[in-house]
Amino acid sequence: MRRIIITAVVAAAGLAAVPASAQYWRLQPSVQREIQRDINQLDNRIARAADRRTISRREATGLRRDAIRLQRLLNLYSRNGLNRTEVAALETGVNRVHLRLRLERRDWDGRRG
């Protein structure tokens, strides 16, 4: 009897020690809406910069292409639900395009890159 109780206590302690990364993680719908909002906001910023002529048409085309790629990736990932890796990849992509937009505005050369 004593062995059974000790085994049960050890097993319960072992389950409690499972790292958080190994536990199932469920995406909240608000995360997907937030990523969608970020992509839409990125499109608007690109359009505004092109309208104000702070970036050239060629630069705007390349940035729009990247934003469309992110939107397609979000649509693809959303079919089966997003996991942490996919959310991280999308957020990284959005941040990279935002950074490129900022850099393109400041270079004043009218060329991509």
Write the pLDDT tens digit of every residue in 28-40: 778 889 999 999 9
Percent of the chain's residues with pLDDT above 90: 58
pLDDT level of residue 76 (50, 70, 90 thresholds):
very high
Closest CA to 103 of 42, 68, 59: 59
Residue 71 confidence (pLDDT): 96
Region 49-57: mean pLDDT is 93
Instruction: Taking residues 43-67, report their average pLDDT.
Output: 94
pLDDT value, residue 29: 76
What residue spans define the domains of the chain?
A: 31-107
Give pTM, 2 decimals: 0.70
Report DSSP letters for 39-100, one per residue. Answer: HHHHHHHHHHHHHTTSS-HHHHHHHHHHHHHHHHHHHHHHTT---HHHHHHHHHHHHHHHHH
